[in-house]
Structure 1
Amino acid sequence: MDLHLALGQGFSVNSASSAIHEFIDICRRLGPPRKANPPGLSYLRLFPGYQKIVNGFVNRIAALSYDGMPMVERTKLSAWGSVQWRIRQRLLKRWGKKAGGKQIFVPVEEQTFLQEANQFIDDLFSSAGSDFQGKPVVLNQGGSYWRPVFSTQYYGDRHVVVVNRDPRGIFASFIFGGYAYPGRDVKLFCKWYRQVMSLRDQKEWASPLVTTIQYESFVLEHKRETEKLCDILHLSPTARSTYDPEASKRNVDKFMKILSRNELDVIEKELSDYLFL
């Protein structure tokens, strides 16, 4: 979605070029297996022809490209580095050689980009052969909670499942990680939660493309919720699954043991409209 916005509604020559370079860098880092703990999937192994597919997509979303350096890259240079870069550029031009630096990209029109993005994703999964052929593909966090329709338009024929959770459980999870989220101050969390919930696009949430489920309901009323979800997604409710709702039941009210009485009281007062239990 960031790439789409930079090449479309937020277009400028510099921002578009920076966004494409960032996309190329992310794809490069996703290619080989991660050595960190836990190890990550290798897209090079999962999707045969991965790098060729990425390169083809980049070529198709760039109407033209030429040698240069996006402004954001130039600002990373030191004063001396900037002087060296300019001298080098002048010498290369004088010698009639290809200029150094990164490429500047001018993107295709937005509708063409959307078509190519859809084709790019189709190419990835079709390259994986029988592993995905004839099977529904489920992408975890494959879109934006706040813009579930706009952020998933690159997938073509899709249905979006948005999961809600009791804010007490969310705050308890923030305590143990996620430095981008307020997990140390319950009053700040309540303000944060109300604000981010107000940013939801209500029209998109009401779209027939979107189904919302409550995490706690899915766990405690698993059979009923599974049948409802499978009906919407045209799946068999008897299909084999490795998910064990009994294990998840221990997490439904785990926040009662993690949060203090004061933290529970604050959330139950400030966010009463969002509580499940």
Structure 2
Amino acid sequence: MRVITCTSYYGTGSSAVTDYVTEFETVKSLGEYEIRILHDMDGVTDLQYHLTENHNRHNSGHAIKRFKKLVDFYAGNRLASRYEPFFQNRWREISYKYINSLVDFSYRGWWQYDLLDKGEKYYYYKMMLNKFYKLTIGRNNSHVLNMLPKEITYCGHPTKEAFLEKTRNYVAELMEAANPENAPMLMVDQLVPSSEIWRYLPFFDDIKVIVVERDPRDLYILEKYQWQCRIIPTDDVETFCEWYKYTRAHRKTEVFNPEKVKLIQFKDLMYRYDETTTDLCNFLGLNENDHKFPKQHLDLSKSIENTQLWKRYDIGSNLKFIEHELAEYLYDYDTVLGGAK
């Protein structure tokens, strides 16, 4: 099974690629729901760092605990099911199996971050209880109160090779659970981030990554006037441009593995559809004869409405500022449309 994933810089249009790939009968697609356990804070790569690269008597065990907490969060509940349905309701089961494989031993114990993770007020409440105890009935004792008598501390220190093997098995088992139909390819959104992709490729037996980029002029307008999610800064255009360059800075030094990673422009799917999709098929190993539902998921007429937005929104001098500051990221209409901007 080949895993296909899209990644982006927020709002840059990776869902368009997901929609296109979903139109192939040889692809099982999980849709646009993001599966981010590998690269989120407290996810697999944080676990890798604390267990194998910077092992520490406190931090390593706590990293396992934080990972388990993230697993539980992503499992969901009755209000929000999150990951469980995508993995045949085996998300927590498979993830716990992975956690157990990384733990050498455990014991009843705690340290300050176990308290702090429960909230700053809880932390100081427990500290005051201990202080009161030491001033009263415990004043002649050398020990302190057991703040968290039921807390479990985990200890794990796998080698780098062992961690990689266990993680590959974990990822493979998750992908198999997500693909009960045994389709030749599985489409999962945002499995890896858009930066330092090389860190994540060893976790997979066979993966192809599509990085999707978008013209900063459109992104600025979409966030400022339509989405208004406050994830992208648009209060002033100077900060927007700084943020845009900040999130793409890795491309100045990071070299994508051309056999595994491909960078495309969102607008190429709109204005160079045939050429771009043929290129995608060749890269992903898709057979165009299996494209049984063309343009049923990727709505070109709708997507193209979100291009060249500066023609519909008057952003004044901000347009010129973006074009000057982010010139290297602008979509090349001169080449694609013969200068018809």
Output the TM-score relative to the length of structure 1: 0.83
Paired residues in the alignment total 266
Distance 2:214 2:268 in 1: 9
Against the structure 1 CA distance between its residues 243 and 187, is the aligned structure 2 distance closer, same or farther, given a 3 Å change threshold?
same
Output the TM-score relative to the length of structure 2: 0.69
Residue 198 of structure 1 aligns with which residue? 249
Distance 1:205 1:184 in 2: 33
Identity %: 20
1:86-107 per-position Cα deviation (integer Å, ceiling 9, x unaligned): 74439x9xxxxxx532323323
- Specify the SS of the correspondent of 2:58: helix
Residue 96 of structure 1 aligns with which residue? none
Aligned partner (choices 264, 274, 288) of residue 223 of structure 1:
274
Residue 64 of structure 1 aligns with which residue? 105
Q: Is the 8 A contact 1:149 1:209 kept in 2?
A: no
Distance 1:177 1:10 in 2: 39
Which has the bigger relative contact order, CA under 8 A and spacing at least 6?
2
Residue 189 of structure 2 aligns with which residue? 140
Q: Is the 8 A contact 1:268 1:275 kept in 2?
A: yes
Q: Is the 8 A contact 2:75 2:81 kept in 1?
A: no
Q: Is the 8 A contact 2:104 2:155 kept in 1?
A: yes
Against the structure 1 CA distance between its residues 45 and 214, is the aligned structure 2 distance closer, same or farther, given a 3 Å change threshold?
closer
Q: Is the counterpart of residue 210 in structure 1 residue 265 in structure 2? A: no
Distance 1:4 1:255 in 2: 44
Distance 2:113 2:222 in 1: 36
Distance 2:250 2:56 in 1: 26
Unaligned runs of 5+ in 1: 93-98
Q: Which has the higher helix share?
A: 1
Unaligned runs of 5+ in 2: 1-44, 131-142, 334-341
Distance 1:219 1:67 in 2: 58
Residue 243 of structure 1 aligns with which residue? 298
CA positional deviation for 1:34 = 6.0
Q: Is the 8 A contact 2:168 2:204 kept in 1?
A: yes
Aligned partner (choices 308, 317, 339) of residue 262 of structure 1:
317
- Specify the SS of the correspondent of 2:53: coil
CA positional deviation for 1:57 = 0.4
CA positional deviation for 1:265 = 1.2
Against the structure 1 CA distance between its residues 118 and 264, is the aligned structure 2 distance closer, same or farther, given a 3 Å change threshold?
same
Aligned partner (choices 111, 114, 124) of residue 73 of structure 1:
114
- Structure 1 vs Structure 2 CA RMSD: 2.7
Residues 1-277 of structure 1 aligned to structure 2 (within 5 Å): 1-32=45-76, 35=79, 41-44=82-85, 46-75=87-116, 76=120, 77-82=122-127, 84=129, 87-89=144-146, 99-128=149-178, 130-131=180-181, 133-175=182-224, 176-200=227-251, 202-238=253-289, 239-241=291-293, 242-258=297-313, 260-276=315-331, 277=333
Against the structure 1 CA distance between its residues 31 and 125, is the aligned structure 2 distance closer, same or farther, given a 3 Å change threshold?
same
